[in-house]
Amino acid sequence: MATASGVGVWMARGVYRHTWTLTGTVTVGKPATLAGLPDKTVSVRGTFGAGGSVTLFGSTASGTGAALATTAAFALNDNRGEGNVMTFTANDGRQINENPHLIFPKLTVASGATALTVEITAQSPKR
């Protein structure tokens, strides 16, 4: 399973954007540490391919590394609450309910045509 490193950039004081590009061969994003920025919105856009699906995961595990986060991970929910898993099958945006230590996207269904951009814009309440 190939991992997308992701790119993070500070957009303004207290506002950070982290972006991953996922494809049929790069199916999981390297976890980003965003716990200090609790207000998070995720957007997914691109080509989903045949039955394409991406889910956002979180982990509160200590340590580092993609393997640790993916083995101790749980699916995140949107701001409607528990039971509204952050799974995307079309271009969309949602606010994240939880604030785990690590966050990463994972293609749960992909085809050779899948090419998605997953962005999290996070901000600090202390801006």
- List the end-to-end C-alpha distance of the chain, in Å, as a whole number: 38
Q: Report the domain count for the chain.
A: 1
Any idea what the Cα angle at residue 66 is, between residues 65 and 70, rounded to 5°?
Answer: 125
| Per-residue pLDDT tens digits for 58-116 | 988 766 555 555 677 899 998 877 778 999 999 999 999 999 989 999 998 877 889 99
> In terms of residue numbers, what domain contains 20?
2-123
pLDDT digits (tens, 9 = 90+) for 38-55: 999 999 999 998 888 999
CATH number, domain with residue 80: 2.60.120
